[in-house]
Amino acid sequence: MDDALDPSALQAARERLGEAREEALRRWDSVQSRVEDLRRDRAEEPADDEHDPDGPTLSSEWTMAEAQRGVVESAIAEIDAALARVEDGRYGLCLRCGRPISPERLAARPSAATCLDCARRASRSPR
């Protein structure tokens, strides 16, 4: 079958994913140090500043930083999964419908696990 990407396209995908992974790890480091700074600040603050009227409270910044860390962690997991698919020959095929993912989509998002149709369907479907 000729659905799978050819070896040079796979090699290019592997390199792009490797770069994306390093970038994500750098982002993780900076978000993680932000989380740790906030944790330290929070430890020094009085316990009841939850309703500070002077702007965002430490706890909301903390929540945001933790949410960002979660986003970066899932991006890394997505990249790792894509790298695993490169190795076992399923890279570039939609995990939901099995059809090839368009080269344009892979170029924009090398870690894409589904084709655009399936991604749209998934984001539309009610939870």
Cβ 95 to Zn ion, closest distance in Å?
8
Phi, psi dihedrals of residue 38, rounded to the nearest 5°: -65, -35
Applying CB under 5 A, which part among 16-24, 33-41, 67-75, 89-97 lies near Zn ion?
89-97
Report if residue 106 touches Zn ion, rule: CB under 5 A. Answer: no
118 binds Zn ion (CB under 5 A): yes
Total interface residues for Zn ion by CB under 5 A: 5
Judged by CB under 5 A, does residue 115 bind Zn ion? Answer: yes
The site for Zn ion (CB under 5 A) is made up of 94, 96-97, 115, 118
